[in-house]
Amino acid sequence: MDAEASSFETSEMMGTFLASTPLLKEAWRLCSAANAMGSGAFVVEQVGGVGYVAFSGVQEMPVLGWDPSCTMLAPLDAAGHGLFAALTRRYEGEEPVMVHSGVLHRFLHYHSRNDLQSQIGSLLDNTKSIVITGHSIGGSIAFLTALSLLSFLKSIFPPSVLCIGFGSPFLGNESLSRAILRERWASSFCNVVATHDILPRLSLDQSLVQTPHWKALIRFWYTFMMSPNSMNLSDFQLTEEDKAWLFSFAAADMERLAQVGEGSTWRSFWPLGNYLFCSEEGMICLDNAVLVKKMMHLMLRTSSPSCVIEEHLKYGWYVERLSLQSLGRRFIEGHLSESSYEASLSMALNSLGTSQQVLIAPMAKDCLKMARQKERHPNLNAAYLAIKLSKIAPYRVEIEWYKACCDNSDKQRGYYDSFKQRGASKRESHINKNRIMLKAFWDGVVSMMDRNKLPLNFHKSLEWVIEESQLYKLLVEPLDIAEYYRSGMHMKKGHYISNGRERRYEIFNQWWAERVVIEKLGNRRTKYASLTQDTCFWARVEEAKEWLDKIKSESDPNNLAFLQDRLNEFEAYAMKLFDGKEASADVLAKNSSFSLWLKEWRALKSQIYPLIELALPDCFQADSHGDLFTSW
C-alpha cells in the first residue's frame, strides 16, 4: 500500500516548497541583518506581497534563563493579556502549556515595543502573507510572536502566517505542541536544523547556562553573528576540552529527550511544527515529534566535537545549497528500488547524510518506517470515519426513539428529567451505553484532529461532519448533563458549563457557528424545535434551581439582589428561547425541572414583587388547580 506511505513523505512537500521559493533566502538575509544589529534587534521589511519580521539571534543573557527552577519552563498563560488564549485553554486531564521562561520574558519585552507593533500592523494592512523568522534564540522568540499573531488573527480572518527558525532551541513542552496541533497551526512552523548543530538539541536549563563552557560558546557565537567577516574560525577560543564537554552534554541531553515518549511528562521540552534537516547531501522535512527527537539524536551520533560548534553559524551556506538540492539528489546507494516507498526511504537517508553510516543507517531507516507503521493518510482516515459512523448510527437512532417515548410518557417529565431520574430498567441502561459509545466515536474524531491525522479542511469539506456532529450535540449533550448532575459531579467539580463540559462540544459549536456565518442560516422558526437549540439549557436550569434554593434563606441585601438578578436573567433568557421557537416540547413538560422551577420562582417572585404583573408565555396555561402545564 504505497499510497498510504509514511508521514515523512507528506511533510517533505513543505521542505521542497520552501527550498524552491525565495522564502528561505529572504528569511535568512533578514536574520543576518538583524544579527548584525546586535542584541535585541529586529528587522521588518516587505518583499513583494510578503511581509517579513526577523529577530536577532543575539539576545541579552537573561533570555537564557537565570530562573531558579530546574527545567526553566513557565506556564504560557503567565504572559497575560489574553495573548495566547487559544493555546492556554485547558480541558479536564490536560497538562498546562509551558514554554522556556527566558524566551517568554524576552518575547514580552518585544511585544511591549510600540515600534514593533506598529510595523507589524502596517505589514498586515499591506500584505497578504507574513513570515516571522529568527536565528538561534531569535527563532524561539519568532515562534512565540507567530503564536500570538495567529491567536490574534484567528478572531478576525483566516491567518496566512509562516514562522521559520534557523537552529532554534526547543521552546516548550508536549502540551504546547498538542495545543498547536489542535488549532491546526503546525504547518505554520518550520525549524531549519543543520545536521550537526548542537543548539536545537539542547534544553537550556540551569545545568548548562551557568557553566563557563556555555558562556564562552555564546560569546563566540554572538561575536561572529554581529561581525561574520571580521573573524576567522581559526580564532575560536574554546579549547578542545570545552568542545568535548559541550558535545557530550548535547548528546546526553538528546539521548534523554529521545527516550521520553508521548504523555510521559509535561516538564520536558518537546518539538513543535516541522523540522527541516539540512546536510551537505540534501534535506528532509519531518513533522512527527517523536520521530524528530529520535532522528536528531541519531544524526548527532554521526558528528564530532570538532564540527558541532561551527555548524550553528553555517545556515547561510546551507540555504544557498538547498535550492539546488531540491531540484535533484545525489544517490550513493546505486539503483533505486522499484517500490516508491523504499525509494523515498533511500532518498531521505541520503539527504540526512546517514546512508553510508554503517551503524546509524539501519536505525535511521527503522525510525522513518515508524511513521508508516503507525499512520494512515488523512483522507483515508476521513473515509474510515464515515464508514465507522454508519456502523454506530443505530445507537443514535435508539436515543431518538427514547426521546420520543419520554416526550409521550404519561409522567410528563420530558427527555432530560426521565434520564436523570431513571431507575435500573434495561431500557435506560441500554440508552446510557449508546451515549457512551457515541462519546467514544466523537472523542476519537477530536483526537485524530489534534494529531493532524485528518485533512486540514475536514469539517468544511465533508457535509456529514457538520450535520452529524450538530445532531449528536443536540441529542446527547442533555443526557451528559443529566448524568453529570445525577452522579453528583457538580458537588465535586462545580456546575457543568464552567467545570464539566467536554471539549468536543465546544469544537462542534465552533464548526456550526462557522457554517451559520458562511451559509447565512438561522431563519426564524415557525414551530418549536424538535431538539432544544441551546444544548446547555438544562445545565442553566440546574444553576437556576440552586439560586432559587439560596434565595429562600438569604438575608444579606446584596446577595439577595444578586440572586434576584440572576434568576430574572435566566427567566428572560428562557422566554426568549420560547419566543424564538428554539425550545423543544420536553422543556415545557408539566413535570420537567424547568416547569417546576418556573412555577416555584414565579410564586416566590409574586411575594417579592407583589405589584408586578406576571404574564405567562402563550405556551403556558393554568389548569383548574392552578398548575402550569404545556398545551401541545
CB 268 within 8 A of CB 174: yes
The upper half-sphere exposure of residue 296, i.e. CA atoms within 13 Å in the direction of its Cβ, equals: 36
406's grid cell: 419520554
Task: Report how far residue 245's alpha carbon sits from residue 209's, in angstroms, rounded to the nearest whole number.
Answer: 13
The upper half-sphere exposure of residue 227, i.e. CA atoms within 13 Å in the direction of its Cβ, equals: 7
Task: Report how far residue 382's alpha carbon sits from residue 55's, in angstroms, rounded to the nearest whole number.
Answer: 39
Q: Which of 312, 377, 459, 490 is catalytic?
A: 312
β 42-47/73-75 pair status: unpaired
Tell which residue, 493, 457, 497, has the closest CA to residue 480. 497
3-state secondary structure of 616: coil
Q: Which of 197, 287, 407, 417 is catalytic?
A: 197
Phi-psi region of 538 (alpha: psi -120 to 50; beta: other; left: phi over 0): alpha
| Three-state secondary structure readout of 341-371 | HHHHHHHHHHHHCCCCCCCHHHHHHHHHHHH
592 among known catalytic residues? no
543's grid cell: 444553576
Q: Which of 136, 351, 418, 595 is catalytic?
A: 136
CA-CA distances (angstroms) from residue 19 to 117, 161, 295, 327?
Answer: 29, 17, 21, 9
Q: 161: Cβ–Cβ under 8 A, 6 or more apart, which residues? A: 129, 130, 131, 132, 146, 149, 150, 153, 188
Using alpha carbons only, give the angle 523, 527, 532 rounded to the nearest 5 degrees.
80
DSSP 138-169: HHHHHHHHHHHHHHHHHTTS---EEEEEESPP
Task: Report how far residue 304's alpha carbon sits from residue 252's, in angstroms, rounded to the nearest whole number.
Answer: 14
Tell which residue, 136, 189, 134, 138, has the closest CA to residue 159. 189
CB 102 within 8 A of CB 63: yes
Task: Report how far residue 329's alpha carbon sits from residue 344's, in angstroms, rounded to the nearest whole number.
Answer: 11
Task: Report how far residue 56's alpha carbon sits from residue 41's, in angstroms, rounded to the nearest whole number.
Answer: 5
Task: Report how far residue 240's alpha carbon sits from residue 231's, in angstroms, rounded to the nearest whole number.
Answer: 19
495 among known catalytic residues? no
The backbone torsions φ and ψ at residue 259, rounded to the nearest 5 degrees and listed phi first, read -90, -10
187 among known catalytic residues? no
Tell which residue, 107, 90, 98, 105, has the closest CA to residue 74. 98
3-state secondary structure of 631: coil
Give the residue numbers annotated as catalytic, written as ranges.
136, 197, 312
